[in-house]
Amino acid sequence: MRGSRARARIVSAAASMVALTAPALLSAAGAAAAASILYVGGPGCSDAGTGTASAPYCTIAKAAKVAVAGQTVVVADGTYVDEVSPWRSGTPTAPIVFRPADGARVVIDGPRHGFTISNQSWISVSGFEIDDTTGSGVYVYNATGVTLRGNIIRSSGTRVQGYSQYGMYLNSMKSSTVVGNLVTDNSASGIYVTNASSAVTIAGNEVSWNAYGYVRNAVGIDLRSGPNLIKDNRIHDNEDSGIQLYPGGDSNTVVDNVVYHNKGFTSVQLTNCNHPPRGAVDGCITGDHGIDNYGVTGSTVVGNTVVDNVAAGINVEGVTAGTPTGIALANNVAVDNAVACPDGAGGTVKCPRTRGNVRVDATSQTGTSLDSDLLWVSAIGETQAVWGTTSYKTLATFRAASGTEASGLEADPLFVARDQGDLRLRSGSPAIDSANSAAPGQQTADATGAPRVDDPATPDTGLGPRAYDDRGALEYQP
């Protein structure tokens, strides 16, 4: 069953994607300009046509077979059922571009994949809605210079074992961008990055409500290769962790992401799941970490806002004992992770898995650094952080045991409206003007693109070249 809340979010998210479509189509000034465009859909279309404005193709697949470097495929309003597989590559200066016509809503519904980009490079796909594919909504293999921008990808696969599919499956993809997409309500992880994919920027996406439905395993963004840059994403209400870095996913940079409420409850008995205690409704508490580093090295986790996830907010575990992790955590805001979980009856129970806003297990302490994070638990007596096998209820005791977080803060960050998912900072927040701008990966703009600014009402207590950067993903704008 698809979540009604996911559907509600799609309406508003779809509207916001309009600004992310490709530049407006220029009128053809002559034969040379017309030759740079292939048209799809509309009156008089035929796949036996020429792809001109007066004789457009009927299917996007036909245009994909014909398109060469430097051409743009412009698709008319409507629903299409063909899988789009470009036959040729573009070039760095002349990519092949696929986009809707100005003002058009183009839906690709029901094929195996919406787009398959396999062994072709310098391809741009912008502004499409891809629904109900039997395979992953977008499948990329062995491709360089791919741009996936402003698309909506939802309901890929089926929540039945053997039929689950990712929103985006990115396999051996290099030097590419995945920007401003809505990836929601798919039957496996939202964005899956694997097999030596590197130099990929995954930025400004909303990734939500992805779930297998029979096993707790669907992650928002699942990284099995690196190095890549994951920034400015909004990730929430997924069946497992928000962002996951698993073996193979070394040396990734995770910065300025808002990761919250990756937790829920289902009455279905899922595999790999924790059940509520006796007296609550029988079922499964879903969700896991906000950001999970498992068996990886070289991660940079900086400036994220991580709130209200089922297990430890930022987790570091599974590194071979004695191996320096090279993992740096800094400027993150982590609040009320692994505290209260739904019981299925409208109440809450104690969350069932790992504890703390930050957790570093016994094998992963060597080479892991923490600096200038803000940690907060609103309930008295809850675990603030874990170092090795010991839980600490205050930042001071955690700092003494771990020798880290010399500039850490333990304070309420004062979010604007946490219950509504508005995790901006209010005036007077201790996160304002107190970050370390010299932290690795620290950005000069926040998750919305707003610049780092000095709040004149707040003393500058930060470190680095700018003493006024804020902690977390969202910079307070005075």
Residue by residue, DSSP assigns 403-466 as: S--TT-EES---EEEGGGTEEEEPTT-TTTT-SBTTSTT--SB-TTSPBP---TTS----BSS-
Give the pLDDT score at 279: 66
What CATH superfamily classification does 4-30+69-381 receive?
Answer: Single-stranded right-handed beta-helix, Pectin lyase-like (2.160.20.10)
Q: For the stretch 188-211, what's the b/e string if a residue is b when 16 or more beta carbons lie within 10 angstroms of its beta carbon? A: bbbbbbbeebbebbbbbbbbbbbb
Give the pLDDT score at 335: 98
Q: Which tokens sit at 285?
A: 């508490």
Q: Is the pLDDT of residue 231 over 70?
A: yes
Q: Is the pLDDT of residue 170 over 60?
A: yes
Q: Is the pLDDT of residue 28 over 80?
A: no
Tell me the per-residue pLDDT of 388-400, one tens digit each, with 9 for 90 and over: 999 999 999 999 9
**φ, ψ of residue 132 in degrees (nearest 5):** 55, 40
Q: Is the pLDDT of residue 9 over 60?
A: no
Contact in structure between 242 and 259 (CB atoms under 8 Å)? yes
Residue 271 DSSP one-character state: B
Contact in structure between 282 and 257 (CB atoms under 8 Å)? no
Average pLDDT of the chain, as a whole number: 92
Whole-Å CA distances, 474 to 148, 244, 433, 443, 445: 24, 21, 12, 11, 9
Give the pLDDT score at 282: 84
Give the pLDDT score at 5: 38
Where does the pLDDT of residue 14 fall: very low under 50, low under 70, confident under 90, or very high at 90 and above? very low
- For 251, residues 6+ apart whose C-beta sits below 8 A from its C-beta are 226, 227, 297, 298, 299
Distance from C-alpha of 33 to C-alpha of 134, rounded to nearest angstrom:
37
β-strand partners of 259: 235, 306
Where does the pLDDT of residue 424 fall: very low under 50, low under 70, confident under 90, or very high at 90 and above? very high
Give the pLDDT score at 125: 98
Give the pLDDT score at 27: 33
**φ, ψ of residue 359 in degrees (nearest 5):** -140, 130
Q: Give me the half-sphere count of Cα atoms (radius 13 Å) on the Cβ side of residue 235.
A: 39
Q: Is the pLDDT of residue 88 over 50?
A: yes
Tell me the per-residue pLDDT of 102-113, one tens digit each, with 9 for 90 and over: 999 999 999 999
Contact in structure between 216 and 272 (CB atoms under 8 Å)? yes
Residue 82 DSSP one-character state: P
The domain spans of the chain are 4-30+69-381
The number of helix segments (H) and strand segments (E) in the chain equals 4, 41
**φ, ψ of residue 207 in degrees (nearest 5):** -130, 115
Tell me the per-residue pLDDT of 63-84, one tens digit each, with 9 for 90 and over: 999 999 999 999 999 999 999 9
Smallest CA-to-CA distance from 153 within 171, 178, 174 is with: 178
Q: For the stretch 30-67, what's the b/e string if a residue is b when 16 or more beta carbons lie within 10 angstroms of its beta carbon? A: eeeebeebbbbbbeebebeeebeeeebbbbbbbbbebb
pTM metric for this prediction = 0.92
Give the pLDDT score at 473: 98
Smallest CA-to-CA distance from 87 within 113, 62, 53, 114 is with: 62
Where does the pLDDT of residue 366 fall: very low under 50, low under 70, confident under 90, or very high at 90 and above? very high
Alpha helices in 42-134 (DSSP H): 60-66
Give the pLDDT score at 7: 38
Lowest mean per-residue pLDDT among 90-94, 164-168, 283-287: 283-287
Percent of the chain whose pLDDT exceeds 70 = 92
Give the pLDDT score at 278: 67
Q: Is the pLDDT of residue 25 over 70?
A: no
